[in-house]
Amino acid sequence: MLEKIKDISIEAEKILQERSLNHEDFRLKFLSRKGQLNDLFDEFKQVSGEIKRQVGQNLNLLKNRLDEIHKELQAGNSQSGSTAQGNKEDLTLPVIPNAVGTLHPLTLVRKKIVEVFARMGFNTEEGPEIESDWYNFSALNFAENHPAREMQDTFFVEKAAVQKDDLLLRTHTSNVQIRLMEYKKPPIRSIMVGRVYRNEAISARAHCQFHQVEGLFVDKNVSFRDLKDTLFHFAKEMFGKNTKIRLRPSYFPFTEPSAEIDVSCFICKGEGCNICKHTGWVEIAGSGMVDPNVLKNCDIDPEQYTGFAFGMGIERITMLKYGINDLRLFFENDIRFLKQFKGI
């Protein structure tokens, strides 16, 4: 009987090594009521007293080992899908490549913008999205009844007795500029990146939330030429070395003089297309020299320091970069849209 126990043990170990049976067939063959182990226990009743103790010990060891092998086969089948026909894992097969995802297009463009300005010496700053009226409007030279306040379509969180204490969702990242100039004195060279909110109807070209990048450079003898050169370098880095820019006079409460920044259309190379509305130019940003009143509000002497500021929407840059014609696609999480972007 000891020889039978040894033979069954060898057979079971071989099955485990070769995975020639699945866990259920193994159970039926060795551990079921009609299995080989049960037959051995029936035969054990006839064993003489001289070797009964030795046989009993070996039989119990065999039972425990068969239980362990059964569990290992069960775990292996659930992981690798082995079958009773004796299929083995072929270690020579090539691995299945992982379906690696990609970053959101807005994240890709934001990263690129930050990299470009970082090479020009700009730090990145962030600030609160729930802001007071002072940091969002008043400190930026918005008069109390200024029509530009209405143009912002603000989401108010809490109305206070004093207007400058009203809480609202920031309408631009310019609030970070004020906070930065309050605690850090010139020279300042930073960009402000983040989400902003405006109470607008959602459409292909507008949304109630979007992302902005704003820049601020304050130091002695900062000129409009510095602003132009900075944005010209950014445009070439972002859209190609042959990109040109133009500045159109505009108005913003917090800059004077102010200008809109256009770049030559990189789709049609200035010849005219749907992207540039057949003008050969596309608008990317607003900019200007920091208004002296804004510097005063931050306790910076405008007689000693000057600065420039600019702001652009990340969604707009992304739409231009990839030729996307519907702003809503950025927020719908449609995998068919998102998986098209592999990087810039």
The answer to whether position 124 is within a domain reads: yes
Same domain for 165 and 302? yes
**Distance (Å, whole) CA 197 – CA 131:** 11
Same domain for 53 and 133? no
The answer to whether position 95 is within a domain reads: no
Same domain for 298 and 191? yes
The residue from 80, 114, 130 where one domain ends is 80
Alpha helices (runs of H) in 19-146, residue ranges in sequence order: 23-26, 36-44, 52-80, 105-119, 133-136
Helix (H) or strand (E) holding 224: helix 224-239
- Within 10 angstroms of residue 120's Cβ, the number of other Cβ atoms is 15
Counted domains in the chain: 2
Same domain for 14 and 160? no
Distances from the Cα of 193 to the Cα of 26, 158, 304, angstroms: 63, 24, 28
Same domain for 125 and 254? yes
The answer to whether position 247 is within a domain reads: yes
Same domain for 276 and 141? yes
- What CATH code is carried by the domain that includes residue 206? 3.30.930.10
The answer to whether position 131 is within a domain reads: yes
Q: What is the pLDDT along the chain (344 residues), one digit of tens a residue?
A: 778 878 888 888 888 888 888 878 888 888 887 788 778 777 777 777 778 778 778 878 888 888 888 888 877 765 554 444 455 667 777 776 666 667 889 999 999 999 999 999 999 999 999 999 999 999 999 888 776 666 668 888 887 777 778 899 999 999 999 999 999 989 999 999 999 998 888 888 788 999 999 999 999 999 999 999 999 999 999 888 888 899 999 999 999 999 999 988 777 777 777 667 788 888 889 999 999 999 999 999 999 999 999 999 999 898 888 888 888 999 988 888 888 876 54
On whether the CB atoms of residues 281 and 299 are closer than 8 A, the answer is: no
Q: What is the per-residue burial (b if ≥16 Cβ within 10 Å, else e) of 194-229?
A: bebbbeeeeeeeebebbbbbbbbbbeeebeeebbbe
Same domain for 137 and 286? yes
The answer to whether position 86 is within a domain reads: no
Same domain for 65 and 124? no
The answer to whether position 89 is within a domain reads: no
Same domain for 183 and 306? yes
Domain ranges, residue 323: 105-338
